[in-house]
Amino acid sequence: MDIHDFKSVVKNYQAVFFDAFGVLKNYDGLVPGITNTFDYLKAEKKEFFIVTNDASRSPQQLAETYHNLGLHAINADHIISSGMLAKEFLDLKVHNGIVAYLGPANSAHYIESSGLHTMPISDVNSNNMENVSVLVFLDDEGFDWSSDLNKAINLLRKKPIPAIIANTDYAYPRTANEVAIAIGGIAKMIETIVGRDFIRFGKPDSQMFMFAYDIVRSRIPLAKKDILMVGDTLHTDILGGNKFGLDTVLVFSGNTLEHQAETRINSTGIVPTYICRDAVVG
């Protein structure tokens, strides 16, 4: 297992896609030294994007979380979130009616489109149910799990509407030692119970990468071989990047620790192009 210096890798690419949690930040704040990386990318005029399974907030709100931590290089237009794909789906495919949702209220405001209005699942009742056009799973917070998940199941049993999962993760780290159930895990349970095929947005699915790729190509002419995907998780960041045809870097600042890496790569067959300790340009 060769470990490369991140700068020696990144210098060969014109654009970089970063996973957020475990690469740029963790429970304690920013990964130490990560601001240097963005200084370098700006100086070298390399494009960069944060490609993240997150539908809890708008890109603007996500960018603010970096500013609050002291990383000012990341703006809303650097953020590609799975919530943006959910919003694109609603824009293109749902033209009227109510978007019932599970998640916090401001995640819902972001996905609202012309002709639609959003409603927490708790407010859906027998009077307004006929107007519900779609159900969106946004985040694991902002609703009562017991009553609202049962409501979601019965809504889907009664109406053949699409259900959208705006973050496919099953769990996410909450502290250094603890995880929490993510909305993707909850949605999978409900999909099994109702026997449906839900629509999922998020890594490792290609649509996340395509969305970022389309934007970066609109700014500078480049090809897939010019882009590097950097992540801490084999089965989302690295599998998804590989499948889309990008070169990939696995870093050890998050889910995958150095002593686990070789075993996990061999047992999954998900092989990153490079391995680096972190995404810091020293």
Give residues in contact with a copy of itself (CB under 8 A): 88-89, 92-93, 140, 144-146, 149-150, 153-154, 156-158, 160-163, 170-171, 174, 177-181, 185-186, 188-190, 192-199, 205-207, 210, 224-225, 235, 239, 242-246, 265-271
Cβ at position 193, least distance to a copy of itself in Å: 5
Backbone angles phi and psi of 281, in degrees to 5: -90, 110
Of 40 and 170, which CB lies nearer to a copy of itself in the complex structure? 170
The answer to whether 93 and 115 are in contact (CB under 8 A) is no
Q: Which is nearer to a copy of itself, 27 or 145 (CB)?
A: 145
Nearer to a copy of itself, 42 or 158 (CB): 158
Nearer to a copy of itself, 39 or 144 (CB): 144
Q: How far is the CB of 215 from a copy of itself (least distance, A)?
A: 14
Cα four-point dihedral sign 197, 246, 139, 75? negative
User: d(Cα 206, Cα 184) in Å, to the nearest integer?
Assistant: 17
Kindly state the smallest distance separating residue 277's Cβ from a copy of itself, in Å: 21
Least Å from the CB of residue 266 to a copy of itself = 4
Nearer to a copy of itself, 24 or 149 (CB): 149
Q: State the minimum distance, in angstroms, from the CB of residue 91 to a copy of itself.
A: 8
**Which residue number, 73 or 181, has a Cβ lying nearer to a copy of itself?**
181
Query: In whole angstroms, how close is the CB of 136 to a copy of itself at the nearest point?
Result: 13
Least Cβ distance, residue 197 to a copy of itself (angstroms) = 6
Residues with Cβ within 8 Å of 104's Cβ and at least 6 positions away in sequence, in order, are 56, 138, 139, 141, 142
Decide whether 71 or 234 has the Cβ nearer to a copy of itself: 234
